[in-house]
Structure 1
Amino acid sequence: MMVPRPLAGTVVIGCLALGPAGAEEATLDPVTVTAPRLERPMADTPAAITRVGAGERRGRRGLTLDEGLEAVPGVFFQNRHNFAQGLRISSRGFGARAAFGIRGLRLRLDGLPLTLPDGQSQVDTIDLDSVTSVEVRRGPASVLYGNATGGVLDIRTAEGFAMAHSPLVRVQTGSYGFRKASWRSGGAGQRWAFHLSGTAQVLDGHREQSGSKKRLARASATRRFDGGRELRLIAGAMDTPFAEDPGGLTRAQLADNPSQADPDAVLLDAGQTVEQQDVGAVWTDPATLPGELSARAFASRRDFEQQLPFVYPGAENRVGYQRAFYGTRLEYADRANWAGWPVKGLVGIDADRQADDRVRFVVDSDRVVRNQTVEERQTAIAAGVFGRLGVELTEATGVTLGLRLDRLRLAVDDRLPTPTDDSGARTFTEPSAGLGLTRSLGPHTLYANIATAFESPTFVELADPSGGGGFNPALEPQKAVNREVGARGPLGGLGSYELAAFSVRVREELVPFHKGGRTFFENAAGTRRQGIEAGLDLSPAVGWTLQGAVTLADYRFTEFEDRAGNDYAGNRLPGLPPYHGDLKVRREGERGYGEVALRHVGPVYADNANSEEADPYNVVDLRAGRRWSLGGDRRLTLFGVVANVFDATYPANVRVNTGPAYYEPAPGRTFHAGVELGF
């Protein structure tokens, strides 16, 4: 594979799922976009969207959400192997700043939000073995969902009406003490369906102090009523007794022994414990009113405690919280004719509330809690009203306009008995707008859009670096203007392609910096993101599939002078490669499959000064599986994987601006295998 040179742009080749492998003709089934309501064919959507089905996750361990999404253009994943920090996802460069979890994207699971009002997202509660599809929309998401500049991930799990081979049991084992058992079951009657799933997994870890253990359970019940009405009830629970954090390494430590941990991480037994419970309901009603009415409501509770992997006198290195997160959303969509033009309209309102009871302690090198520095109630309330209008100007041309207004209030109630009261509140009121155009040229679609978006600081990012508690009064939301053009369509009878070019200007970009062992944030005056995205999904012969994606990116500060007076204008944004690409070749037969996957990632700067750079790397993976029919509906599948075949040493994560220990190494060559039995 030829490695592309860095360009002042980004290229992504987006992938659209084909029909079943081995079919005589590569016939593209219509794909429906579900992340924005008022369902519409993907071809009519003026945005870069890729939908990945369950088949792309086949033979995977089911540990992190990125599995199967490698060939989605414009999306970059880090931190796949540190379960105390969580997967880091960036879309068009948004989200790379996150020290923990996911920022800058809106995530939804079966129509219910995984993103908190303050902009944080966690994906550790998803039962990945039950995921049936992931729809990735790159670009601003604020018009429909608020408070996101990078895009939307809409995740769907199995439900009884669509299940096959149920119950299904899967057992896996592999390198570094990996063991996992999972099961799912479902069924349906004429008007009802159910789905149940459970997972238990243990991993000793490829580094010292990197083990984890987790249990998941999920259930849903769907009831259909007259007139197409439907109610789906969902419940889930997650328990992580431990997820250890090995910390970062210096470049010299990475080269010397990538399996070691930061000595402070071992000394403190760094890591986290988490429990979470969720309930939700989704109601769809196309019969009561002329259009379609939909509503959702949810509630979750999360208990969290983490020992951070650093120690020094006065270090606030143990944190914990108890969180309640709940909310509701109401939408109404309808179709009409206006002056002879077909019109599709959508209006809605949503409101979510997050309440965290947070504590922070100082722990010394003997693991003794010396004193408590934080005891507070953090409350975030987000509310938004939105609308979208789509007009078919001709049979081949459509225009879409979206508007939204958000109000976000973040408040802290300081409950620690000290002479200083650090209570306070910040309120942000932000509008968002988007305009899109589509044009059909036979089976091909051309599109263009321009949209604005905002992204607020989270509670963690609002911490005051001056040493006091409460909010940083100088920190503001970042605001983006996105411009994009693209094309997608079939390639004869061979497959499909997607191509997009974008340019994003951001004001008040939120940028991390390191001080006293902690990560704080400040606003850069401006940044620029521009590039091209492209993807390809081909079936050149019966049973053969080739998928490719490449991203060429230019992410830079246009104006930025840091707190020390350093001028970083023109520097590349840290944590992001200027190019990365994936290529997969798969052979599928009636009884089995084999796959070769190649990933190339370019160099990544670790700091704003661009003084520390992680080297580019290549990784090759091999996957294979074999199926047997046991009669009736019973089937047996064996599968195996060799990951990082050539045992490359490379960082799976770069801890931005936390030097000199910037790097978290990925595992070397690893193996895992599994057996699956379906009935």
Structure 2
Amino acid sequence: MRVWPLLPCLSALFSAPVSAEADDASGITVTAPRLERSLEREPAALTRLEGRALAPARSGRNLGEVLEAVPGIAVTNRHNFAQGVRLSSRGFGARSAFGIRGLRLHLDGLPLTLPDGQSQVDTVDLDSVVATEVRRGPASVPYGNAAGGVVDLRTAEGFTGPDGARLALQGGSHGLRKAHLRVADADEAGAWHLAAGDLSQTGHRDQSRVDKRLARFSTTRLLAGGRELRIIAGAMDTPFAEDPGGLTRAQWEADRGAADPDAVTLDAGQRADQQDAGVIWRDPASLPGEIRARLFASRRDFEQQLPFVFPGAENRVGYQRAFHGLRLAYGDDRRWGGVPVTALVGLDADRQADDRVRFVVDEQRRVQEQTVDERQTATAAGLFARAGFGLGAASEVTLGLRLDRLRLAVDDRHAGSVDDSGSRTFTEPSGGLGITRQWGEQTLYANATTAFESPTFVELADPDGGGGMNPDLEPQRAVNREVGARGPLGDAARWELALYSVRVRNELIPFERAGRDFYENAGSTRREGVEAGLDWAPAAGWSLRAALTAADYRFVDFEDREGNDYGGNELPGLARWRGELVARRDLGPGGLALAARYQGRRFADNANEVRVGPRTVADLRAHWRRGGWRLFAAVENVADVDYPANIRVNNDAGYYFEPAPGRALRVGLAIPLR
């Protein structure tokens, strides 16, 4: 699919006449771009979900529930709590062997993404999420490293919704047991919100049990002069989340509930606990513009038994992590020489310190030797500036610049034959130019942006075992070009459309050796596609959200370490076609919903020899309210489709597939507590 030749045709629309009535047609405000403005003024592909756009009967177990029907976003691995959900935007993030890579994630304005580019979302209380903003495409200018897309999650503060307390209970297939308690209150001086949850389930496969608890508290104080102070604290404890591992195609077809035999032998899985806290300050009174600041800190203790075993296999890992940082920013909105200008300048500084160990464990689960004892530190600093310039009544140009410096260092404290100490420093500039133009109530935009993504500590491991960090592995760098449009269709619908072309140099590509993932750079890749979204209320009581993505992700120039030439092949793990549909019917005190997801065929390897066919999965949901009580139920995977929930890309032993659960039932009850 070649969409870039179409972009100049669409960009020609920006020279067309504009109605004198061009105004802000919506009260929606976008906060993720760090230059607060109405959605219509932002020159990028952005989607915001809140209120009725979020599933009313969601289970609160995986991130996909709050990202339904967002164009360009793929969510996989929704059911393996030990490896974590996979999230990709325009192909960024698809390479991840575990967790999330290539995208920036924030929770209530605080980062979930580490300086080295890794993200974990197991600390997010998804039951409390009330709004989600998603920016697709490279966005390093406002965010820095690993910004192939941005997801900004917002949880309840206590200002809206009923005061008091509510307890929600759920149960269902595969031993699901879940409880969630919410307490909130508000007055003229501010609000507070407390939530706590407990989840356990046996899982749909052998070796897939999970037991997890989390709690989150926030309070917002409204002070004189419009100043605002928000304090947030959270904790997560996962005593165990088992890992059933991947299966070969033959194993999957024989029994989709099976686990990798090595995973059972070793009792593979993880345990983790984390505590975090943050302070966010907003001051619009001390200076002509607005001062914003944030401070945060977190600590994480983690241990994981990996699902493979052979002589010398380094199959147990652990770390203790400290992550903290700050952001200072100043924004102003005024006229300069008769031109309206909205500007933001700021500084980001983050630090990550991991005390990491690795062991060899045998078939009897006995530790044979320790192979790694090292301290890993990542220090990141970024300076950024972004400004929007009004051009007449209906157009605006946005410029952005950023400079990042990232230092990754390893201090090897293990008395082995090879010293793995070393460091890598990356200094990366980023830039962006965008333009928006109003055509009546419709918004047209175009942009060109750059982004970079560094290798993470895990990815910098040297596959040749020479000691230190892999000296040949470089950050990947992307150039994104995009045009799009969005706006209302009468009073009952909103639409969005984006066409993009991304070129990436030094794409980071995984390969597996002796059960462990390593990484190398491809020469270059290209991503081209179309993203379309529709939010429509065709009649009273009916609503529909739909998203369609058609894309082509390919290696342009890539010869791997063994001399295999994959130029022209599709990038593994990515489908050319994806679609989602959520249709709802309100029925007085209750409602029904159908959610369907389609994913086209894809490949599991660079050679494009292991093909994964297309699939469509549908869920049915229902809810009913009476007073403050709410009853809800869902049938997931109604048609009992047998499909992989995740693909382990380029697995050298053929264990590519993690089967998804079949048909499953879930019921719940929310009870007001007075």
Q: Partners in 1 of 2:81 and 2:624 — Cα distance?
A: 30
Q: Determine if contact 2:79/2:645 at 8 Å carries over to the other structure.
A: yes
Q: Does the 8 A contact of 1:9 with 1:552 survive in 2?
A: no
Q: Structure 1: how far apart are the matches of 2:141 and 2:437? A: 22
Question: 1:418 offset after TM fit, Å?
Answer: 2.3
Q: Is the 8 A contact 1:412 1:425 kept in 2?
A: yes
From 173, 180, 205, the counterpart of 2:178 = 180
Q: If the length of structure 2 is used for normalisation, what is the TM-score?
A: 0.95
Q: What are the equivalent positions in structure 2 for 1:386-465 lying under 5 Å apart? A: 386-465=384-463
Equivalent pair of 1:54/1:131 in contact (CA under 8 Å): no
CA contact (8 A) 2:73 2:90 kept: yes
Structure 1 outlier segments of 4+, above 6 Å:
none
Distance 1:625 1:365 in 2: 48
Mapped to 1, the partners of 2:229 and 2:638 lie a distance apart of 47
Report the secondary structure of 1:541's partner residue. coil
Deviation, structure 1 residue 339: 2.0
What is the letter of the counterpart of residue 651 of structure 1?
Answer: P
Aligned to 2:654: 660
How far 1:54 moved relative to its partner? 4.6
Matched, 1:36 2:29: no
Aligned twin of 1:671: 665
Q: Are the counterparts in 1 of residues 278 and 296 from structure 2 also a CA contact under 8 Å?
A: yes
Which residue is equivalent to 1:646? 639
Aligned-pair distance for 1:8?
A: 4.2
CA distance in 2, matches of 1:206, 1:286: 51
CA contact (8 A) 2:26 2:39 kept: no
CA contact (8 A) 1:105 1:141 kept: no
Asked if residue 568 in structure 1 is aligned to residue 562 in structure 2, the reply is: no
SS of match in other structure, 1:143: helix
Cα distance between partner residues in 2 of 1:401 and 1:182: 44
Q: Does 1:62 align with 2:60?
A: yes
Distance 1:436 1:485 in 2: 9
Aligned equivalent of 1:632 = none
CA contact (8 A) 2:621 2:634 kept: yes
What SS does the corresponding residue of 1:409 show, helix, strand or coil? strand
- 1:48 correspondence with 2:54: no
2:238 paired with 1:240: yes
Looking at structure 1, the residues matched to 663 and 571 of structure 2 have their Cα atoms a distance apart, in angstroms, of 30
Cα distance in 1 for residues equivalent to 2:416 and 2:260: 34
Q: Would you say the 8 A contact 2:530–2:550 is kept in 1?
A: yes
Taking the TM superposition and a 5 Å limit, the aligned residue runs for 1:563-602 are 563-602=561-600
CA RMSD of aligned residues (A): 1.3
Deviation at 1:648, TM superposition (A): 0.5
Which residue of structure 2 aligns with residue 536 of structure 1? 534
Alignment of 1:72-151 (within 5 A): 72-151=70-149
Aligned AA (2:665):
F
Per-residue CA deviation, residues 446-472 of structure 1 (Å, 9 max, x unaligned), is 000000000000000001100244311
What is the 5 A alignment of 1:146-161?
Answer: 146-161=144-159
Measured after TM superposition, the shift of residue 493 of structure 1 is 2.0
Shift of 1:199: 0.1
How big is the shift at 1:327?
0.3
Query: SS at the partner of 2:159?
Result: helix
CA contact (8 A) 1:346 1:387 kept: yes
On the 8 A contact 2:271/2:304 being kept in 1, the answer is: yes
* Contact kept in structure 1, 2:436 and 2:443, CA below 8 Å: yes
Q: Distance in 2 between matches of 1:208 and 1:557?
A: 37
TM-superposed CA distance for 1:417, in Å, is 1.5
The CA distance in 2 between the partners of 1:133 and 1:507, in whole Å, is: 34
CA displacement at 1:340 relative to structure 2? 1.0
**Identity percentage of aligned residues:** 63
For each residue in 1:479-534, what CA deviation from the matched residue of structure 2 results, as whole angstroms up to 9, or x when unmatched? Answer: 00000000000111221100000000000000000111101000000000001000
SS at match of 2:265: helix
Whether the aligned pair in 1 keeps the contact of 2:191 and 2:220 (CA below 8 Å) is yes
| Alignment of 1:636 onto 2:633 | no
Larger displacement relative to structure 2 (589-598 or 570-579):
589-598
Assess if the C-alpha contact under 8 Å between 2:303 and 2:316 holds in 1.
yes
Could you list the per-position Cα deviations for residues 158-197 of structure 1 after superposition, in whole angstroms to 9, with x for gaps in the alignment?
Answer: 1122242531210000000000000111111221321111
Per-residue CA deviations over 1:99-122 (Å, capped at 9, x if unaligned) read 111011111111110100000000
Letter in 1 for 2:658: E
8 Å Cα contact 2:201/2:210 also seen in 1 = yes
The answer to whether the 8 Å contact 1:176/1:204 transfers is: yes
Q: Is the 8 A contact 2:172 2:665 kept in 1?
A: yes
1:42-95 superposed Cα distances (whole Å, 9 cap, x missing partner):
010000000111541311110111113120000001110100000000000000
Report the AA paired with residue 61 of structure 1: S
Letter matched to residue 463 of structure 2? P
Q: Name the CA distance, whole Å, in 2 between partners of 1:600 and 1:117.
A: 34
- Is the CA contact 1:149–1:480 (under 8 Å) kept in the aligned structure 2? no
Q: Please, which of 159, 162, 166 is the counterpart of residue 160 of structure 2?
A: 162
5 Å-filtered alignment, 1:595-610, equals 595-610=593-608
Q: Aligned partners of 1:302 and 1:115: how far apart in 2?
A: 13
Alignment-derived partner of residue 468 in structure 2: 470
Give ranges in structure 1 of 5+ residues lacking alignment: 1-6, 12-26, 630-634
- Equivalent of 1:343, from 341, 344, 349? 341
1:21 aligns with none
1:495 matched to which residue of 2? 493
Cα distance in 1 for residues equivalent to 2:310 and 2:469: 24
Distance in 1 of aligned mates of 2:300 and 2:531 = 37
Question: Quick one: distance in 1 between partners of 2:3 and 2:569?
Answer: 15
**5+ unaligned residues in a row in structure 2: which ranges?**
7-23
Give me the whole-angstrom Cα distance separating, in 2, the residues matched to 1:227 and 1:85.
46
Q: In the TM superposition, what is the alpha-carbon distance from 1:394 to its structure 2 partner?
A: 1.0
> Matched residues in 2 for 1:35 and 1:149: separation?
12
Deviation at 1:583, TM superposition (A): 1.4
Contact 1:331 1:348 in 2 (8 A): yes
TM-score by length of 1: 0.95
Deviations 1:531-571 (Å, cap 9, x if unpaired)?
10001111110010111111111000000000010000000
| Superposed counterparts of 1:305-316, under 5 Å | 305-316=303-314
CA contact (8 A) 2:66 2:132 kept: no
Partner of residue 550 from structure 1, selected from 543, 548, 551: 548
How many residues align? The count is 653
Counterpart pick for 1:371 among 347, 361, 369: 369
**How big is the shift at 1:29?**
4.9
Q: Which moved more, 1:296-305 or 1:32-41?
A: 32-41
* Match in the other structure for 2:198: 200
What is the alpha-carbon distance in structure 2 between the residues aligned to residue 313 and residue 70 of structure 1? 44
Instruction: Check conservation: 2:104, 2:150, Cα contact below 8 A.
Output: yes
Q: How far apart, in 2, do the equivalents of 1:593 and 1:9 lie? A: 40
Counterpart of 1:17?
none
Answer whether contact 1:9 1:554 (CA < 8 A) is retained: no
* Distance in 2 (alpha carbons) for counterparts of 1:192 and 1:469: 54
